[in-house]
Amino acid sequence: MKEMTLVSSLQRYRCWKEKQPMVWNTIIKSRRDWSIIPHLHDYGQARAAFSWDKARRELEGLPGGQGLNIAHEAVDRHAAGPLGDHLAMRWLGKTGKVQDYTFGRLRELTNRFANVLRGLGVTTGDRVYVLAGRIPPLYIAALGTLKNRSVFCPLFSAFGPEPICARLAIGQAKVLVTTESLYQRKVAGSRSSLPHLEHVLLVGDDYKSADVPGTQDYRRLMEDASEKFTIGPTDPEDVALLHFTSGTTGTPKGAVHVHNAVVAHHITGKLALDFHKDDIFWCTADPGWVTGTSYGIIAPLTNGITSIVDEGDFDAERWYGILQDQKVSVWYTAPTALRMMMKAGTDLVRKYNLSALRFLASVGEPLNPEAVVWGQQAFGRPFHDNWWQTETGGIMIANYAAMDIRPGSMGRPLPGIDAAIVRKTQGDGGIDGGVEVIQEPDVQGELALRPGWPSMFRAYWNEPERYKQCFVGGFYLTGDLAKRDKDGYLWFVGRADDVIKTSGHLIGPFEVESVLIEHKAVAEAGVIGKPDPVAMEVVKAFVSLRDGYEPTPALQRELLGFARARLGTVVAPKEIEFLPTLPKTRSGKIMRRLLKARELGLPEGDTSTLESES
């Protein structure tokens, strides 16, 4: 059965392997001509010497032993020291505007936002959501929220009203910071069903609160707030961040992270992204994704380096221009973007002076070997793939600056991270209480991690049962299938469940199906990820119709539009196919794996639970 759910990734890998044996077998030797010695220059020694206590000692802690607060480590401790006037963040607006923020200035602004929250009666543990593109208030609100010991929760602005309101409701958002346009299009219509949402703060130059009932002016509140704020005692286990992710079934899951996560953000910035003093770092992640917080905000700041924040969308020429003009030295991006750059060709890259670039990394989806090798050809440096997920809070597995890269591999576990390939055993009585560790190399199993790193999620918001199910036999099971080769490099095989990765976004099929079946013509819906050369997968829906409806192209267009309006372009299906009935188990569950196998022309595997389709 698992074979079937994996087809997209496996097929793609086989295809590369057959078409490009040279690429597949390449090992990119790590550079030995370092101008800067990588922090992790001896993997074995670094693992042996590592402890999380030592990593914690790289941070300062709140004055007077009052605990550990992410915003103090990211902003205040630098603002108060020699980095006070150092550039912490340079914002590049879509239309050419540039705004610079030193650590000192960030301290003032985030203090103001913390005071705004305090003034509104928002306290420890209250959830403050931000729904915005990459604009300065997002960063200020995130860090100010952490200073107030409230919980920061970012949302994807490309999501439609349905997924956004579901996430606001699940986490019982008390505050939402957003723009007038996003609010009007995605939240206002459901405001009455969000009783916990007490304060909506709108940012934007043209905004007038009188025009938008139930909202307040972010800028006015910020102007009126004091720029002095003292962070209160923060227990490292106090909840700091809430990041939504998707599962195969049920509602979206809110992964809960605590202030102690900053230890992992900081050290992985050093070890996996190789941050050094004076680096200029650019993380291109969407702020709605966990990467946008852990590495788009926290890790570069705690390491005292400069972050570039670009408001614009992907455009190969714009991106190369930024790399050149901002003298970016460390660049963290994602495979979908990389594949789009590859399409634009190598000649374009060569027009730019990218001599400042010294380290390139990628995350979020499998990075195909061709892209790694292309990076080497185009930039003179390979991309270093790394792996992690919303639940892990920070990078767990990586190709390091000093390590030879095997294109297509995710790399090796970080110091402090114990990763294994496991298979579940029958019942609870198996080896290690329900899982068996696979020792032989090159054997597929589920990627599992020994809990205990600081940025591990502490809960799914209000869903203890779902959280508990992630842990078996002393391991956290990641839901990914992988192999380990004889040298300890890990190779991603595919998901063990039906979640879909499209352009880096993790989409739960259930969320899409639930919306489709709300359309009056739809009887049943089954949603799969269909392989795509650029986005990795695209969302495809199979739909059977109620009596009285005909499967016409007009209805198909109507359903696509209906889904897009409700779910947003990222989540909505790109394709809809009508079927007379959908394959179901005898208990009535739609068999997505069969839909997928049929879509891809693959063997259907075990169909013993299939209900008769006639």
The footprint of ligand AMP (CB under 6 A) covers 245, 290, 363-367, 385-387, 389-390, 410, 478-480, 492, 495, 501, 506
Q: Work out how close the CB of 93 gets to ligand AMP at its nearest, in angstroms, rounded to a whole number.
A: 27
Name the DSSP class of 525. E
Q: Work out how close the CB of 99 gets to ligand AMP at its nearest, in angstroms, rounded to a whole number.
A: 28
Which CB atom, from 136 or from 252, has the smaller least distance to ligand AMP? 252
Which CB atom, from 156 or from 207, has the smaller least distance to ligand AMP? 156
Q: How far is CA 276 from CA 99, 139, 244, 517, in A?
A: 23, 22, 31, 51
Q: Work out how close the CB of 374 gets to ligand AMP at its nearest, in angstroms, rounded to a whole number.
A: 16
Which CB atom, from 366 or from 568, has the smaller least distance to ligand AMP? 366
Sequence-ordered list of residues with C-beta below 8 angstroms from that of 234, at least 6 positions apart, any chain: 62, 66, 67, 68, 69, 72, 149, 259
CA torsion, ordered 116, 119, 124, 130, to nearest 10 deg: -30
Closest by Cα among 102, 51, 73, 459 to 302? 73
Cβ-based neighbour number of residue 262 at 10 Å: 31
User: What angle, rounded to 10 degrees, do the helices at 136-147 and 103-119 form?
Assistant: 70
Q: CB–CB of 238/124 below 8 Å? A: yes
Q: Work out how close the CB of 371 gets to ligand AMP at its nearest, in angstroms, rounded to a whole number.
A: 11
283: its two tokens: 């993380």
Closest by Cα among 390, 396, 399, 318 to 359? 399
Phi, psi of 331 (to 5 degrees): -130, 130
Cβ-based neighbour number of residue 439 at 10 Å: 9
How many Å apart are CA 433 and CA 492, to the nearest integer? 25
How many Å apart are CA 356 and CA 46, to the nearest integer? 27
Q: Work out how close the CB of 365 gets to ligand AMP at its nearest, in angstroms, rounded to a whole number.
A: 5
Which CB atom, from 200 or from 397, has the smaller least distance to ligand AMP? 397
Sequence-ordered list of residues with C-beta below 8 angstroms from that of 302, at least 6 positions apart, any chain: 59, 73, 74, 262, 265, 266, 269
Which CB atom, from 39 or from 501, has the smaller least distance to ligand AMP? 501
Beta-bridge partner residues of 484: 490
Q: Work out how close the CB of 357 gets to ligand AMP at its nearest, in angstroms, rounded to a whole number.
A: 20
Which CB atom, from 274 or from 365, has the smaller least distance to ligand AMP? 365
Q: Work out how close the CB of 306 gets to ligand AMP at its nearest, in angstroms, rounded to a whole number.
A: 25
Q: Work out how close the CB of 482 gets to ligand AMP at its nearest, in angstroms, rounded to a whole number.
A: 8
Which CB atom, from 410 or from 590, has the smaller least distance to ligand AMP? 410
Which CB atom, from 38 or from 292, has the smaller least distance to ligand AMP? 292
How many Å apart are CA 536 and CA 502, to the nearest integer? 6
Q: CB–CB of 175/164 below 8 Å? A: no
Which CB atom, from 236 or from 252, has the smaller least distance to ligand AMP? 252
Which CB atom, from 238 or from 537, has the smaller least distance to ligand AMP? 537
Q: Work out how close the CB of 499 gets to ligand AMP at its nearest, in angstroms, rounded to a whole number.
A: 8
Closest by Cα among 179, 531, 219 to 366? 531
Which CB atom, from 334 or from 516, has the smaller least distance to ligand AMP? 334
Q: Work out how close the CB of 285 gets to ligand AMP at its nearest, in angstroms, rounded to a whole number.
A: 9
Q: Work out how close the CB of 291 gets to ligand AMP at its nearest, in angstroms, rounded to a whole number.
A: 7
Which CB atom, from 143 or from 367, has the smaller least distance to ligand AMP? 367
Q: Work out how close the CB of 268 gets to ligand AMP at its nearest, in angstroms, rounded to a whole number.
A: 13
Q: Is the dihedral of CA 443, 446, 451, 455 positive or negative?
A: positive
How many Å apart are CA 99 and CA 140, to the nearest integer? 13
Sheet holding 280-283, edge to edge: 98-102, 87-92, 306-310, 280-283, 330-333, 359-363, 383-387, 397-398, 412-413
Q: Work out how close the CB of 287 gets to ligand AMP at its nearest, in angstroms, rounded to a whole number.
A: 13
How do the residues of the chain divide into helix, strand and coil, expressed in percent and rounded to 5? 35, 25, 40
Which CB atom, from 389 or from 444, has the smaller least distance to ligand AMP? 389
